[in-house]
Amino acid sequence: MVPRPCSVQAALAVIGEKWSLLAVRELAFGVHRFDSIVRNTGAPRDILTNRLRRLESAGVVEKRQYSEHPPRFEYHLTEAGSELRPVLLSLGQWGDRWAVDVPTVRFEHTCGEALELVHTCKACGGEVTGRDLKAEQLTSDWTSAA
């Protein structure tokens, strides 16, 4: 029996390791230097080194040299990395509501207001609460063992 082929699992294979998403969060927050990411996440240095390498080879992060002697690098989100922001936002909102007493981060939208994220269906425009949806496996050669 083979596990369910799934884009959630594929995404987690890229950003699901411990510290990876926190590193992405820092980059999204505009923190680009190794030492700062270490301090702000609390990640061990060697692990962070490893994570940044993996994120880089997965195309989520890119290294930019800002000094030659000695060689020094900044880390930036690629387009793929940038598109993780909705993931961070929904995760943060869930955390605010269910895993934390007092909100610790305020996201501000360009409209000037505090961002409260609403997930809507592109087709009908209606809000997606999560309760009102079904999942259907597209890969025909896979059968769930329910």
- Footprint (CB under 7 A) of DNA, residues 37-56: 43-47, 49-50, 52
Instruction: Supply the Cα-derived Rg of the chain in whole angstroms.
Output: 18
Q: Does 55 bind its own copies (CB under 8 A)?
A: no
Q: Which of 16, 48, 55 is nearest to 33 (CA)?
A: 48
**Virtual torsion, Cα 19, 25, 27, 30, nearest 10 deg:** -140
Determine if 3 is a binding residue for DNA (CB under 7 A). no
Q: How far apart are CA 65 and CA 43, in angstroms?
A: 22
Contact map string, positions 56 to 95, toward DNA, x by CB under 7 A: ----------x--xx-xxx---------------------
Segment contacting its own copies (CB under 8 A): 47-55, 66-74, 84-92?
84-92
Q: What is the dihedral of CA 4, 8, 14, 20, to 10 degrees?
A: -130
Binding site for DNA (CB under 7 A): 17-19, 33-36, 43-47, 49-50, 52, 66, 69-70, 72-74
